[in-house]
Amino acid sequence: MTTITRRFQYAMGHTLYQHEGACAHLHGHNYVALIEATADALDTVGRVIDFAVVKELVGGFIDREYDHRFLVNRADPRAVGLRVLDPTVRVVGYNPTAENLADELLDAASYLLRPLGITATSLTLWETENAYATVRQ
């Protein structure tokens, strides 16, 4: 089985509701996402998929939903006020931890690539240079 990996980099802010430390504060990170994908067979060019297609589909999702956005859990009492201050704040139904974000991004990538016969098999999301989460299908 042949797999490909596409790297995405974006800046995003968040806060973690009920976190016991500094991540309870409003803050941001420069994230790096590595998405791994495979297909049953290589195409006629000899590829799993053109990297540009992955960039367009998955990168487009990242640009719309994460890049230069701020994510806050709807259970956080600050969510409404943050949305009033900035309507681009994305209120989500989960705590935007690296683990939850990686899971959401892998689900989105799977949904976007599946019609092309591509399986998104794993996603690693680096929140900092020293900390990351990986989810696998």
Q: Which two tokens stand for residue 92?
A: 């989500």
Q: Is 131 helix (H, G, I), strand (E, B) or coil?
A: strand
pLDDT digits (tens, 9 = 90+) for 20-45: 999 999 999 999 999 999 999 999 99
Helix residue ranges, H only, 1-137: 51-54, 60-65, 79-85, 98-113
Query: Three-class SS of residue 52?
Result: helix
Q: What angle do CA 34, 104, 101 make, to 5 degrees?
A: 70
CA distances from residue 52 to 5, 48, 49 in whole angstroms, order as listed:
12, 12, 8
Q: How many domains does the chain have?
A: 1
Q: Domain with 110 in it: what CATH number?
A: 3.30.479.10
Q: Predicted confidence band at 14 (pLDDT cuts at 50, 70, 90)?
A: very high
Q: Can you give the pLDDT at residue 1?
A: 87
Please check whether residue 91 is in contact with residue 72, taking contact to mean a CB–CB distance below 8 angstroms. yes
pTM of the model: 0.95
Active-site residue set: 23, 68, 127
User: Amino acid identity of 97?
Assistant: T
d(CA 26, CA 72): 9
> What is the per-residue pLDDT across 111-129, written as a single tens digit (0 to 9) for each?
999 999 999 999 999 999 9
**In terms of residue numbers, what domain contains 20?**
3-129+131-135
Q: Per-residue pLDDT tens for 55-104? A: 999 999 999 999 999 999 999 999 999 999 999 999 999 999 999 999 99
